């Protein structure tokens, strides 16, 4: 096999891996939403994050690696922001369609990306992002009748994602597997009290434990693993552009699995935010793109 053909094959594998990662995340989140009626968003978050942490602890065994105090503090903040982001995202999902929730949450990493540049072209992407958000807000004649509380949770999840990126970069010099597994463990410690307060011992019924394990595998274990395959083979710019498609993929998953119908205005809002994300990726210069951090929710 020639070097060119081998390179093309590696690129194809990477693209398929990232698409598979986003698909698995969206399917897992759709399935997670179906558990809300039994244990609520809080209990579902606790199950998802708890099982994700257990899986990654078993895979990486982080106690094998040295851990400095500085790294421990960074990983702790990283884990708290990760847990809060997951909980806020699932709270928003109670009343907002999946695709729109992902689109609103994207405002967080977009803000981080734009603020790290401050070039003139970035104001264009700010305009597209703001337009998308305005189209979703329940104001004026174009109101989309979305629950304002749900929108608030989604915006807060976006803030959490932005903090997750900042703290993730602070913890970036630690071993990757150690940081991720310990970060998810801290996230589980953060969200578990909310799950127990809302759902109680119902969370530990055998059927729900199996469902929680499935959500953890689909929403975390598989996406994180496939993203790692993709990141090693794709340029950051290509990775960021492909990841920008996730709100649309989430909307399709919501339509297929949850029967969530979106209006034309809502599709336009998703499109506007996707344009902002792609544009920000294409014009990024000499900086680490937010897409490198993956999707926490």
Specify the pTM. Answer: 0.86
DSSP state, 234? S
Total domains in the chain come to 1
CB 63 within 8 A of CB 175: no
Confidence of residue 285 (pLDDT cuts 50, 70, 90): low
Does residue 282 or residue 206 have the better pLDDT? 206
Q: What's the pLDDT tens digit per position in 17-63?
A: 889 989 999 999 999 999 999 999 999 999 999 999 999 899 889 99
Confidence of residue 117 (pLDDT cuts 50, 70, 90): low
Supply the pLDDT for residue 143: 47
Supply the pLDDT for residue 294: 58
Cβ-count burial of 295 within 10 angstroms (0-12 exposed, 13-18 middle, 19+ buried)?
buried
Of 243, 203, 227, residue with least CA distance to 49:
203
Radius of gyration of the chain (CA): 19
What's the average model confidence in pLDDT over 89-102? 94
DSSP state, 49? H
Confidence of residue 288 (pLDDT cuts 50, 70, 90): very low
Confidence of residue 292 (pLDDT cuts 50, 70, 90): very low
Q: How would you label 106-132 residue by residue, b for 16+ Cβ within 10 Å and e otherwise?
A: bbbbbbbbbeebeeeebeebbebbebb
Supply the range of the domain harboring residue 177: 3-293
* Alpha carbon of residue 270 to chain centroid: 16
Q: Which residues contact 120 (CB under 8 A, 6 or more apart)?
A: none
What's the average model confidence in pLDDT over 231-244? 75
């Amino acid at each position: 096999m020639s070097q060119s053909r081998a390179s093309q094959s590696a690129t194809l594998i990477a693209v398929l891996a990232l698409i598979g990662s986003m698909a698995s995340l969206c399917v897992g989140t759709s399935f997670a939403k179906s558990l809300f009626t039994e244990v609520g968003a809080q209990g579902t978050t606790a199950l998802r994050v708890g099982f994700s942490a257990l899986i990654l602890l078993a895979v990486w065994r982080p106690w094998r690696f040295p851990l400095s105090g500085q790294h421990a503090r960074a990983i702790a903040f990283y884990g708290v922001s990760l847990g809060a982001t997951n909980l806020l995202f699932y709270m928003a999902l109670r009343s907002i369609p999946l695709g729109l929730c992902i689109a609103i949450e994207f405002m967080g990493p977009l803000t981080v990306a734009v603020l790290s540049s401050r070039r003139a072209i970035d104001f264009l992407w700010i305009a597209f992002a703001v337009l998308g958000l305005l189209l979703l807000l329940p104001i004026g004649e174009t109101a989309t009748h979305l629950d304002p509380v749900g929108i608030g949770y989604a915006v807060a999840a976006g803030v959490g994602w932005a903090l997750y990126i900042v703290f993730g970069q602070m913890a970036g010099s630690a071993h990757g597997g150690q940081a991720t597994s310990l970060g998810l463990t801290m996230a589980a410690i953060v969200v578990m009290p909310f799950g127990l307060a809302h759902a109680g011992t119902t969370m530990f019924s055998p059927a729900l434990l199996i469902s929680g394990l499935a959500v953890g595998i689909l929403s975390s274990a598989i996406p994180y693993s496939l993203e790692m395959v993709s990141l090693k083979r794709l340029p950051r710019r290509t990775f960021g552009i492909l990841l920008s498609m996730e709100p649309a993929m989430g909307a399709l998953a919501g339509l297929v699995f949850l029967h969530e119908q979106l209006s034309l205005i809502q599709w336009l809002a998703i499109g506007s935010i996707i344009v902002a994300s792609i544009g920000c990726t294409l014009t990024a210069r000499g900086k680490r793109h937010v897409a490198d951090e993956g999707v926490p929710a």
